[in-house]
Amino acid sequence: MKVAIQGERGSYSDEAAKRFFQDKEYEPLSKRFLEEVFDSIESGEADYGVIPVENSSTGSIRKSLDLLLERDIRVVGEVKVRVRHALLGVKGARLEDVEVVYSHPEAISQCEGFLKSRGWRVIPSFDTAGAAREVAEQGDRRKAAIASKRVAELYELEVLARDIQDLPHNTTRFFVITKEREWPRDADTTSAFFATRHVPGALWRALGVFARRNINLLWLESRPIRKEPWNYSFFVEFEGSLWEEYVRDALEELESESIWVKVLGTYRRTSAF
């Protein structure tokens, strides 16, 4: 089994994959861009992918949502990873040596308070682990990376500062995606996209299909349809499994109240890190 992730060994996506597939043998496929994770699944190179979709401090990962809307991919699982960022430098470096910091834009945003208190130059990278590897390869004491402290061991780096994220309980949520439709028997959550007509009360009527069945909404967000300027779709996640008849009935009624509906999948929502 092959599992595609964005980022290198030691990235948070790598940890998410290890947690979800902990009882199975698999080969990780490191990809530089999120699009490449989706490409590898659609081409058959990978059986599954693990993508970040939401962070507890910075909100949704919009690129992931857009790709879920545009690609023929299904969601079959989720996993949460506690994000504890560290500032990593080369061996012998000190905090006062740092002038330039590299990391993924999301990690940079999650450590904004720490970074603002210093006059460092901040440069976005493709992923946290990759940024740490580049710092290790360059061997410059003036350069550091924001990544998990686990990465320090992989690339023999020095931990210059620990837990530098703005919020102490910073957590990123990942979706497990695949090409084929799978309905895990223990699923308790379902997600979908839909688009409403441009008439008064259209969204209210669409959401009413859930309210009338006492279905709890967990996440609702509008996203622009990139190929249709000024038109929007809605991502919705709610409690209930596609194995349940009332959930299927709700989605069937949602179709009658919408222009289109795309069901992403059904999966078990985790509560622990």
DSSP 170: -
Evaluate if residue 16 carries a pLDDT over 60. yes
Cα separation, 224 vs 49, whole angstroms: 24
Compute the C-alpha angle 152/139/5, nearest 5°. Answer: 45
CB within 8 Å of 160: residues ≥ 6 apart = 86, 87, 88, 89, 93, 94, 95, 98, 144
User: What is the pLDDT at residue 229?
Assistant: 83
CB within 8 Å of 193: residues ≥ 6 apart = 68, 69, 223, 233, 234, 235, 236, 261, 262, 264
Tell me the pLDDT band of 169, cut-offs 50, 70 and 90.
Answer: confident
* 2-82+170-178 classified as CATH 3.90.1150.10: no
Evaluate if residue 183 carries a pLDDT over 60. yes
User: What is the pLDDT at residue 62?
Assistant: 93
| Domain segments of the chain as ranges | 2-82+170-178, 85-161, 189-267
User: What is the pLDDT at residue 244?
Assistant: 98
Evaluate if residue 31 carries a pLDDT over 70. yes
Tell me the pLDDT band of 272, cut-offs 50, 70 and 90.
Answer: low
Q: 210-241: string of b/e by CB count within 10 Å (b at 16+)?
A: beeeebeeeeeeebeeeeeeeeebbbbbbbbb
Question: Which one is catalytic: 20, 126, 172, 235?
Answer: 172
User: What is the pLDDT at residue 57?
Assistant: 85
Cα separation, 55 vs 174, whole angstroms: 9
| pLDDT digits 0-9 by tens, 2-15 | 999 999 888 999 99
Tell me the pLDDT band of 186, cut-offs 50, 70 and 90.
Answer: very high
Note whether 166 and 110 are within 8 A (CB): yes
Evaluate if residue 95 carries a pLDDT over 70. yes
Tell me the pLDDT band of 238, cut-offs 50, 70 and 90.
Answer: very high
User: What is the pLDDT at residue 58?
Assistant: 87
Evaluate if residue 273 carries a pLDDT over 70. no
Percent of the chain with pLDDT over 90: 88
Note whether 138 and 18 are within 8 A (CB): no
Question: Which one is catalytic: 38, 174, 193, 194?
Answer: 174
Evaluate if residue 226 carries a pLDDT over 90. no
Its pTM stands at 0.89
Domain at 85-161: CATH architecture:
3-Layer(aba) Sandwich (3.40)
Instruction: Assess whether the region 85-161 and the region 189-267 belong to the same CATH fold.
Output: no
Task: Average the pLDDT over 165-194 and give the result.
Answer: 95
DSSP H or E segment with residue 42: helix 34-43
Is residue 114 annotated as a catalytic residue, yes or no?
Answer: no
Evaluate if residue 33 carries a pLDDT over 80. yes
Superfamily of domain 189-267: ACT domain (3.30.70.260)
Tokens 């709890």 belong to 216
Is residue 126 annotated as a catalytic residue, yes or no?
Answer: no
Q: Which of 18-27, 44-53, 220-229, 248-257 bottoms out in mean pLDDT, i.e. has the lowest?
A: 220-229
Q: Which of 15-19, 44-48, 267-271 bottoms out in mean pLDDT, i.e. has the lowest?
A: 267-271
Percent of the chain with pLDDT over 70: 99
